[in-house]
Structure 1
């Protein structure tokens, strides 16, 4: 059974919260973020403002995988992680 938009956003939010709280992450988490975002970007029901946020998270994920130190990359993006989590939370409520 495929995940619906709500489930995808919840998983995305959970991974970002883990990055924020733990200040670390894995390549597989970043790959999961990318797969979720690709699916959500292709969803006609997701509004353009949320798609912009999703693209920011996608770029964050790509850059995290390509950084020499993923944990440092995550630490440098703590403010943005908070913002993205809030955006996803607010979007989930609508």
Structure 2
């Protein structure tokens, strides 16, 4: 059963929030972020402001998949993570 738009946004925010609070994550989570972003980007219900944020999240997740030190990547993006969760919550 596919996830609804609301479920996808909730999952996206949960993963980002976990990265922000735990200061660590997994490559699988970054790959999940990529899949969620791709799905949300083609959804016409998604606000354009959220799509701009999703572009940033996609780049973050791509760098996360390719980095040798994922925890450091997450740590260096703490402010972005906090902002993304907050901003997505305002528009969703």
- TM superposition score category, shorter chain reference: over 0.9
Instruction: Give how far 1:30 is off.
Output: 0.5
* Alignment gaps of 5+ in structure 2: none
- For residues 10-67 of structure 1, give each alpha carbon's deviation from its aligned partner in whole angstroms, at most 9, with x where no partner exists: 0000000110111001010011101111000010111221101001001000001111
**Residue number in structure 1 paired with 2:21:** 21
RMSD of aligned residue pairs (Cα, Å) = 0.8
Runs of 4+ off more than 4 Å: none
**Residue number in structure 1 paired with 2:80:** 80
Q: Distance in 1 between matches of 2:56 and 2:40?
A: 13
Give the structure-1-normalised TM-score: 0.94
Give the structure-2-normalised TM-score: 0.96
Q: Distance in 2 between matches of 1:66 and 1:32?
A: 14
Instruction: Give how far 1:88 is off.
Output: 1.4
Instruction: Give how far 1:5 is off.
Output: 0.8
* Alignment gaps of 5+ in structure 1: none
Matched, 1:63 2:63: yes
Paired residues in the alignment total 92
